[in-house]
Structure 1
Amino acid sequence: MNQLVDKIGRSVPLGRELGRGGEGAVYEVVGQPDLVAKLYHDVPDARKQDKLIRMAAGLDDRLHQYAAWPEETLHQPSDSAVVGFTMQRIKARKPVHMLYSPGQRRSAFPNTDFGFLVYVARNIAAAFDTVHDHGHVLGDVNQGNVLVGADSQVILIDCDSFQVRFGGIVHRCEVGVAHFTPPELQHSGGFEQVLRTSNHDCFGLALLIFHLLMGGRHPFSGVPQSEHVGETLESNIREFRYAYARDANLRLLLPPPRSVPINVLPLSIQDLFEQAFLEPSVTARPTAAAWVAALDRLRAGLKTCSQRALHRYPGQLESCCWCALNSQRIVLFGNQTIPKTAPAPRVTLWSEQQIRALRAEVLRIQFPDPISVVLPRLPCVSEIGSNHSTVTAVSVCAALVLAALLIVLVDWPADRESRELLILMTIGGSTILGVLGASVAIIITERRRKQIVQALEFDYFEVEAKLEVALKRMNLELGVHTLRIRTDQLMALIDEYELLRRDGLEAFRSEAQAAIHQAQSLYLQKTSLNQCQDPRVQARHKLVLREAQIDNADQLSPARLQSLDELEAAVVDALLAWKGGMIVAFHQTIPNRSDRETAFRARHEQSLLRLQAQIESAHADVNHLHSNLRPISNAQRQQLELLLAKGGEIHRLYSLQASSGRR
């Protein structure tokens, strides 16, 4: 075992065994703590050896970030047969099912919130997108080949089983897990002859994301609404019985009890799940890149619960969905080891200096410029066709002259002088024929040139479109766009905090005063004039008031009463005094000014604390996104160089055609 060499014959000494499976065992590599070696129990066949050699040669920085990809093949010194390979050593990572299962999460990933799950889902999608972007397919998607760490970063394992493509050579993935297999492959019976696609992978990707966002539930597991429905997960998948679909009742399978309602998620995420799990998905499921963008938007809009710090919930909801589920004894988040009677730690409001320092820190964030390259513009070739028109006109004239000459020759006399003239005319005719032939040749050449130019234009615009897609994908992967969005949201929260800190208390007072005034008005409207018992206000006075459409205390005002000539001054004074007494009675029903001020300050402080929690969450997101910005990889740079080189060659050929048209 210790007598192994790499592809160029260097010795690769192995240390202790770290793990063993049905296919092989994993060992330390002596002197290289960041590497491990996988050795197969049996020497792989020639096709598997070729696959490993090609995979190792195709490794780049992007694959290395997301996958435990073969780095160097290991060989027997005797016959150079490939018996294994080295790969990066994975540390502090656990299978993703230990995160999405609520029971396992409490011990394996304590104190994680929904935002963490969303970010892990996003990183899984980014890993799939990277593999697909290289032309490969995972094939055997399942909960065991995705590992995740406390930093939310993911690593794909068992990469030697992936379906890989190198040019026209495809090495298939020959295994699969039934409850991660898409409907169209449920009848395959085996995978040895199945050519997997990224669309097949995207079924398993959507399923992993569903597990993470929906409390570990399987989207095709539920409560059957008819006999012979829901007998197995495989049959439910095969029959598109997505239990959380909008038409789930027609599919005869409903969500299980005590599950997370699908409507806690934004409609955009619900739509992606339906596109991944229902009938049209067979031809077009949401891509991994589409999931990355959607999950970034979901995470950027999360809110933090005012009651529980670990409750972060989708931003379109009015209140915390996890608290609502807690009330049903469905506990998904929160450190349950803290007694409910334990007093919450006192959170102090930030000082003006603290908020200014935070704003300054955010303003110092450096945003790398997005990757931007452009193809050279194609030159103007409007001259194409101008020569064609000129030559066509010459050709028509020459043809007309030749036709006239032939008509004359039919009746030409046969004497000597006539013969000499005939010779001259024949020479002229030949010249005209030559011109006509040359004209036809030029027309054919021009038409051919126009076809070439049109083909070059098509190729140019195709390269331009590919370049645009590549740049969009690369800038998304670099993380700058998402960082800008979250930083803008953080700055908006800081602005809101400063405004609330400065003007919020007075705003609460004004709001409360307006509410009191409205309540007082309603109270007076309900106080009929019949309740006025002042002897100065007699029945005839009340009749005058009713005729003036004054029926309650709220309608009494000095100006309005003094406009009524039938009312003496003493009656007006009596009515206004009675209204004043009603106002005093109303104010006795509400808290006094001191109590109201205390309530204003408490509301103001709670609002500031709620904003502080949102700012802290957004600040942590910004720091995480900034620390995870990635430079352009060698593979990305090579892709851009290839597209630019192809575009440049098209531009050169196009310019030659344009210049030939002007000669």
Structure 2
Amino acid sequence: MTEGPGQVVDMNGRRYRLVRQLGRGGQGAVFEVEGGRLAAKLVFDDSPSRRDRLRNQLIHVKRLTLGDLEIAQPLEMLREPYLGYIMELLTGMVPLKVLAHMPRGEKSLVPWYIAGGGLRRRLRLLARAADLLAQLHGKGLVYADPSPHNLFVSAGVTGNEVRLIDADNLSYQSSTGGPGIYTPGYGAPELMAGWRGVDTLTDAHAFGVIAFQTLAQVHPLLGDAVAQGEPEQEEKALRGELPWIDHPEDERNRSSVGLPRDFVLSNRLKELCQLAFGKGLRDRTARPGLSLWAERLHAAADATLSCPGCTSTYYVNSPDCPWCGVAKPRYVLASFFLSDPAVVSCESCKAGYTVEEAECPRCRAPRPEGVTRLALVRGPDPKRTRLTQAVLTEHSPLLISDRLLKGQMGRGSHTPRVEVRLEGGRLWLRSLDGVVYTLVSMSGSRNLPVGPQAMNVPIDSGRGTWRLHLGSLEKLHRIVNFELRQEGT
């Protein structure tokens, strides 16, 4: 059976009317249940032995403790003659394929791309999807069949929620060969060849394809040589026997379609793609893992600006909006560092040493007079290494969540803690979580207000003088430096 029935019945005798197909993957399809809050996954397999195995797998998955993950778990099993289950599905969600593939009826790629939320939204959704898969891997599980059909995202362009819907794909990784589960176009070369089972690296390959396709609107392995060649060429490309479309030296499989990579891929994302589809096609251990994908996708999204002209988003290092050519708006660059108040920065050789030492161990210069831990946080931070950056404009505030505040990833890391806005040449800041955060300059310190009231401070172009401490001044914590950049710079 490949078409959906009008209705299905669960093991308790409850009937569900199926109203439309939401997505289709390597094993079956997902249908919306009348009412909108539930969905039915139907697995298409006529082999009695495989049906029994899949039924046992579904029962096993239903027993897994996955409450901390954004996965639609099975609620009730379906009765024969259908194999599948009923799952909860949040209203207003659609498969990622609506952002990864331009519909046939659309005539122009760029307006459609921007209308779907543009670059930043795609980066953020992909980052959260990578986060989710990485958490799953952390539990010793693999998803087995990532594709744009079973990754669901918020339907509205302002939403950034992500859900995995095919929970029956979950399994423990297997190094043995055999019939691998994958959606055509997303299976790793070793799965297609049948010499490896599913594992975290086959998930990583599939996700890399999804990410590249969603951002660049072209499959990374299917270039013009495949589109214009015999059907066997596609299979060769997917097995890794042809160069990927952006191979730095081999041009045999270049693609004439898709968006310019400089528009949609940061330099660090380009590095991941070269690893994933260059060396990673033949050497599976060279593939970047899901945690690295998540980290770099989040960082790329943080480094995007909103264009005041066409409302699209683009990377802050672009000289102007690549979509319409309008000059960059005025923006604030927020740089995140790690601050250790117990360390002194030597005024002579700039070496760092602990506050308890009376002199610099490198050059023997005496410790500055009057140095205390509180005084140190007002001066330059020793051995500062920038952890990440984010930008905000007058049209796009910065919401600092636990991901930026602590480096935390996964579910719960997206709750906003501090809001920072740019209005009229001033920074407006407030605490959103009831915690008191300290804003420091060379002239003193002030605590951010909690609640609807916001503190505002002037900010001048050039090197920032304001530093926001995201933790106790007496302990190791992150700080944010704010630097105003004028229009066009």
User: Which TM-score applies when normalising by structure 1?
Assistant: 0.44
After TM superposition, list the pairs within 5 Å mapping 1:540-551 onto structure 2.
Answer: none
2:256 is matched with 256
Counterpart among 198, 204, 212 of residue 196 in structure 1: 198
Letter in 2 for 1:217: V
Equivalent residue number for residue 94 of structure 2: 94
Q: 1:69 to 1:173 in 2, by over 3 A?
A: farther
Q: Kindly tell me: are residues 118 and 258 of structure 1, through their superposed partners in 2, closer, same or farther at Cα, counting changes over 3 Å?
A: closer
Instruction: Tell me by how many angstroms 1:72 deviates.
Output: 3.7
1:156 aligns with 2:89: no
Call closer, same or farther: CA 1:88–1:283 in 2, change over 3 Å.
same
Q: Which has a greater percent of helix? A: 1
Structure 2, unaligned stretches of length 5 or more?
A: 1-6, 327-392, 429-455, 463-484
Which of these residues, 105, 126, 131, is aligned with residue 136 of structure 2? 131
State the 1:37 CA deviation.
4.6
The aligned runs of 1:551-562 (5 Å cut-off) are none
Please report how far the alpha carbon of residue 314 of structure 1 lies from its aligned counterpart in structure 2 after TM superposition.
1.1
Does the CA-based 8 Å contact 1:163-1:173 persist in structure 2? Answer: no
Task: Determine if contact 1:229/1:253 at 8 Å carries over to the other structure.
Answer: no
Match of 2:186 among 162, 180, 196: 180
Indicate the structure with greater strand content. 2
TM alignment of 1:414-433, pairs within 5 A:
none
1:388-431 Cα distance to aligned partner (Å, 9 max, x none): xxxxxxxxxxxxxxxxxxxxxxxxxxxxxxxxxxxxxxxxxxxx
In structure 1, the partner of 2:66 is: 60
Which runs of 5 or more residues in structure 1 are unaligned? 6-10, 326-357, 372-470, 505-606, 615-663
| Partners of 1:3 and 1:194 in 2: CA distance | 36
The match for 2:117 among 98, 109, 112 is 112
Q: 2:68 is paired with a residue of what secondary structure?
A: helix
Question: For the residues of structure 1 that align with 2:113 and 2:419, how far apart are their CA atoms?
Answer: 31
Q: Once the two structures are superposed, what CA deviation does each residue of 1:465-518 show, in whole Å capped at 9, x if it has no partner?
A: xxxxxx97xx2225659967x957969984499757x899xxxxxxxxxxxxxx
Say whether residues 1:145 and 2:150 are aligned partners.
yes
**Candidates 301, 304, 312, aligned match of 1:302:** 304
Aligned letter for 2:253? L
Counterpart secondary structure, 2:211: helix
Change (3 A) 1:479 1:194: same
CA distance in 2, matches of 1:366, 1:264: 24
Q: Is the 8 A contact 1:3 1:12 kept in 2?
A: yes
**Alpha-carbon distance in structure 2 between the residues aligned to 1:148 and 1:139:** 19
**Does the 8 Å contact 1:163/1:171 carry over to 2?**
no
Question: In the TM superposition, what is the alpha-carbon distance from 1:284 to its structure 2 partner?
Answer: 3.0
Q: CA deviation at 1:319?
A: 2.0
Alpha-carbon separation, structure 2, partners of 1:283 and 1:85: 35
Q: How does 1:580-599 map to 2 (within 5 A)?
A: none
Give how far 1:263 is off.
Answer: 7.1
Shift of 1:53: 1.2
Q: Flag the 1:247–1:173 CA change in 2: closer, same or farther, 3 A.
A: same
**Higher radius of gyration, 1 or 2:** 1
State the alpha-carbon separation in 1 of the partners of residues 306 and 412 from structure 2: 23
Label 1:303 to 1:52 Cα distance change in 2 as closer, same or farther (>3 A). same
Per the TM alignment, residue 221 of structure 1 is displaced from its structure 2 partner at its CA by 2.8
Q: Which residue of structure 1 aligns with residue 478 of structure 2?
A: none
Q: CA deviation at 1:206?
A: 0.8
Q: How does 1:524-543 map to 2 (within 5 A)?
A: none
In the alignment, the residues of structure 1 paired with residue 223 and residue 403 of structure 2 have an alpha-carbon distance, to the nearest angstrom, of: 48
- 2:355 aligns to what? none
What secondary structure sits across from 1:15 in the alignment? Answer: strand
Compute the displacement of 1:269 (Å): 0.8
- The 1:37/1:256 distance shift into structure 2, 3 A limit, reads closer
Q: What residue in structure 2 maps to residue 408 of structure 1? A: none
Q: Give the distance between the partners of 2:303 and 2:148, measured in 1 at CA.
A: 27
Residue identity matched to 1:101: H
Shift of 1:211: 1.3
Give the aligned partner of residue 70 of structure 1.
74
Name the aligned partner's letter for residue 195 of structure 1.
Answer: G
Counterparts of 2:118 and 2:181, CA distance in 1: 34
Normalised by the size of structure 2, how large is the TM-score? 0.57
Post-superposition offset of 1:110: 3.1
Report the equivalent of 1:290: 292
Matches of 1:483 and 1:492 in 2, distance apart? 23
- Asked whether the equivalents of residues 72 and 87 of structure 1 are also in contact (C-alpha less than 8 Å), the reply is yes
1:46 maps to which of 27, 52, 72: 52
Q: What corresponds to 1:13 in structure 2?
A: 14
Distance 1:366 1:97 in 2: 29
Residues 1:222 and 1:230: Cα distance change in structure 2 (over 3 Å): farther
1:292-319 alpha-carbon deviations (Å, 9 max, x no partner):
111111111112334322x211122222
- Using a 3 Å threshold, how does the CA distance of structure 1 residues 19 and 60 change in structure 2: closer, same or farther? same
| Structure 1 residue 169, shift from structure 2 partner | 12
2:323 maps to a residue whose letter is W
Amino acid at match of 2:68: R
CA–CA distance in 1 between the matches of 2:112 and 2:245? 29
**1:497-646 matched pairs, under 5 angstroms:** 499=458
CA pair 83-317 structure 1, distance change in 2 beyond 3 A: closer
Alignment correspondent of 2:443: none
Match for residue 409 of structure 2?
A: 476
Pair 1:235 & 2:258 matched: no
Q: Secondary structure at the match of 2:185?
A: helix
SS in 1 for 2:324: helix
Please say if residues 264 and 317 of structure 1, whose CA atoms lie closer than 8 Å, have aligned partners that are also in contact. no
Question: What letter matches 2:278 in structure 1?
Answer: L
Using a 3 Å threshold, how does the CA distance of structure 1 residues 289 and 12 change in structure 2: closer, same or farther? farther
Instruction: State which of 233, 243, 246 in structure 2 corresponds to 1:244.
Output: 246
SS of structure 1 residue aligned to 2:19: strand
Say whether the 8 Å CA contact 1:476–1:482 is kept in structure 2: no
Matched AA of 2:309 = Q
Aligned-partner SS, 2:160: coil
Q: Quick one: structure 1 residues 231 and 317, their matched pair in 2 at CA, closer, same or farther if it must change by over 3 Å? A: farther
Shift in CA distance, 498/60, structure 1 to aligned 2, threshold 3 Å: same
CA distance in structure 1 between the partners assigned to 2:41 and 2:56 by the alignment: 16
Identity %: 19
Offset at residue 273 of structure 1 (A): 0.5
Quickly say closer, same or farther: Cα 1:492–1:165, change in 2 above 3 A: farther
Question: In the superposition, relative to structure 1, how do residues 58 and 210 fare at CA in structure 2: closer, same or farther (>3 Å)?
Answer: same
Give the drift of 1:163.
4.7
Q: Which residue of 2 is the match for residue 552 of structure 1?
A: none
What is the CA-CA distance between 1:228 and the residue it aligns to? Answer: 7.5
Give the aligned partner of residue 318 of structure 1.
319
Distance 1:113 1:88, change over 3 A: same
Deviations 1:587-631 (A, max 9, x none): xxxxxxxxxxxxxxxxxxxx98x69xx9xxxxxxxxxxxxxxxxx
* Cα shift at 1:84: 4.0
**1:225-277 alpha-carbon deviations (Å, 9 max, x no partner):** 9x98997333224225112132243xx23231574134763221110111111
Q: Is the contact between residue 140 and residue 173 of structure 1 (CA under 8 Å) also seen in structure 2?
A: no
SS in 2 for 1:303: strand
Equivalent residue for 1:207? 209
Is residue 100–residue 211 contact of structure 1 (8 Å, CA) maintained in 2?
yes
Structure 2 CA distance for partners of 1:489 and 1:72, relative to 1, 3 Å: same
Any idea what SS the aligned residue of 1:71 has? strand
